[in-house]
Amino acid sequence: MTSVKQVIPAPNADDIEIKGLDDDDEDSGDKKQEDTILLVSKEGDKIPLKRTAAGMSKLLSDSLQNEKDVKEISMEHIESVTLKRIVDYMEYHTKNPPVEIPKPLPSSNLAEFVKDAFDLELVGWMDESQSNMYKMMLASNFLACMPLVNLSCAKFAALIKGKKPQEIRDILGVKGEYSVEEEEAIRQKFAKYIEAV
């Protein structure tokens, strides 16, 4: 039986760049800085995001393509806690592609078809308050991060799925019917659309 050995030629001494210990650290630090951008929240907090993860957002992707040297992007209307959740989502799902959510929803229990533990934890955070859910829906829509838009909208759809109109009004905090004057004002304002139907 013959054995095969792979011979790797030694590098030419002229091709070797000799660096000190600090040189490697500086290069990797620069590379880390180049690989991330800072998203500045409403409160002024700077939240780092990997440039590769920013590709999940059409807004960020377009911004980075147009301004390659950008280091910070202002998200002045998104609160820090929501922005941090969005950054975590994008970075996680860069390595773990999100699963498409079925439409229409098969059930109001998202755990039946959202199997990713990370996504379920995010849905749990949205369950803590409707405000969290609305902020996530608006922020993910602004960023055009469509998988997150779909997840947050699925959370909202599950909340109202199978509910009667009055229950939905209660969930949404709708206080009552329109007065006759309000209804007439709406009819006048949207008359051309009402007539088209």
All structural domains of the chain: 34-162 (3.30.710.10)
Q: What is the mean pLDDT of residues 126-152?
A: 94
Q: Worst-scoring range by mean pLDDT, 103-117, 127-141, 178-192?
A: 178-192
Tell me how far CA of residue 17 lies from CA of 11, 13, 23, 147, 162, in angstroms.
11, 9, 11, 45, 68
Label residue 171 by pLDDT band (50, 70, 90): confident
DSSP secondary structure of 13-82:
GGGPPP--HHHHHHHHHHHHHHTEEEEE-TT--EEEEEHHHHTT-HHHHHHHHH-TT--EEE-TTS-HHH
- Please give the mean pLDDT across all residues of the chain: 84
Supply the pLDDT for residue 177.
76
Q: What would the two tokens of residue 107 be?
A: 């059930």
Find the radius of gyration of the CA atoms of the chain. Answer: 25
Q: Give the number of other CB atoms < 10 A from CB of residue 69.
A: 6
Instruction: Quote the longest CA-to-CA distance of the chain.
Output: 97
Place of tokens 């050995």: 5
Label residue 172 by pLDDT band (50, 70, 90): confident
